[in-house]
């Protein structure tokens, strides 16, 4: 099954594809094992910010590690957040990363043109989508501003951001974007928040996130494509379950696993124990938080 077929199937049957980020290379093996052992289906992914700010080295290094441990049918390799303009407001040579991902076995990619105006974002996304579609690779895009990757602390409280819908994906823009950008899945801003990547904020506990479900429903009605939720760590199960019924088919999870690895390694300086901790936390997310253990049988086995 191709990645695009997988996410569409998840939307159709009402399940969720989690995508686990890899800020540190040794996290790949325990996450893959947790996915397989729980008979679930998920993505392994890495974002540019993670090889710049953490220790995942490069998209090529993550792919090399992934191919050692991958479980066909259970795991898929996704390139997360390749920005056109990055967290420091610098322009990025995004097509170099996209082309490299196609060369080393990524099954889907994400181009992030969310810091551009609408027309610019549509144009860049169409360029990337048309390129990767020629390799039968799926394209994810982003519209709106899921906060948290900024290099400086956010001045407003989470509650203020949520109540004022600051950065939320505009409904009219989403309709136009879905129709013209050629993307397969769309990351939308509806209340979730990324974990901080700034050095001074990485160890802080994320605020408990929420999802504006009524607003999400409007976005799905006008786009009619699988929607993606970034910043999944810390969102209560009740919101996630309702979001899955309202268009969300893929959800990114990073902070919870990253902190499990980093805190364990810091406490014991034992790589094996840190990997065991990642396995434990990933299994808990799959079984208890998302309740998607055994969704392999629904998504893959019956096909």
For 13-136, where are the E strands, in sequence order? 17-21, 42-47, 75-83, 108-112
CB 3 within 8 A of CB 76: yes
Distances in whole angstroms, Cα of residue 163 to Cα of each of 126, 145, 190 = 32, 15, 11
- Give the other-Cβ count within 10 Å of 119's Cβ: 10
Q: Does residue 170 have an active-site annotation? A: no
| Residue 6 burial class via C-beta count within 10 angstroms: exposed 0-12, middle 13-18, buried 19 and up | buried
**Among 37, 61, 80, 203, which one carries the catalytic annotation?**
80
Phi/psi for 82 (5° steps) reads -100, 105
Contacts of residue 222, defined as CB under 8 A and 6 or more positions apart, other chains included, come to 171, 172, 174, 175, 178
Q: What is the chain's length?
A: 303
**Residues tagged active-site:** 80
């Amino acid at each position: 099954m191709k990645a695009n077929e997988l996410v569409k199937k998840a939307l159709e049957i009402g399940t969720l594809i989690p995508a686990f980020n890899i800020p540190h290379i040794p996290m790949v093996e325990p996450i893959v094992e947790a996915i397989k052992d729980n008979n679930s289906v998920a993505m392994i992914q890495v974002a540019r910010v993670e090889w710049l700010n953490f220790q995942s080295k490069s998209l090529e290094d993550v792919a090399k590690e992934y191919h050692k441990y991958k479980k066909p049918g259970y795991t898929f390799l996704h390139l997360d957040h390749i920005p056109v303009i990055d967290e420091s407001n610098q322009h990025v040579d995004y097509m170099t990363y996209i082309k490299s991902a196609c060369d080393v076995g990524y099954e889907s990619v994400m181009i992030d043109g969310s810091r551009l105006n609408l027309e610019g974002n549509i144009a860049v996304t169409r360029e990337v989508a048309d390129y990767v579609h020629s390799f039968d690779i799926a394209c994810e895009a982003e519209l709106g501003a899921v906060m948290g990757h900024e290099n400086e602390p956010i001045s407003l409280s989470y509650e203020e951001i949520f109540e004022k819908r600051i950065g939320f994906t505009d409904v009219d823009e989403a309709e136009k974007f879905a129709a013209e950008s050629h993307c397969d899945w769309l990351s939308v801003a509806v209340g979730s928040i990324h974990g901080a990547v700034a050095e001074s904020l990485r160890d802080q506990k994320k605020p408990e996130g929420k999802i504006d479900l009524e607003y999400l429903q409007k976005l799905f009605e006008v786009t009619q494509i699988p929607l993606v939720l970034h910043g999944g760590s810390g969102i209560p199960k009740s919101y996630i379950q309702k979001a899955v019924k309202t268009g969300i088919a893929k959800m990114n999870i990073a902070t919870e696993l990253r902190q499990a690895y980093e805190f364990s390694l810091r406490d014991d300086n034992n790589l094996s124990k840190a990997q065991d901790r990642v396995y434990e936390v990933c299994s808990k997310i799959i079984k208890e938080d998302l309740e998607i253990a055994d969704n392999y049988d629904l998504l893959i086995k019956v096909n």
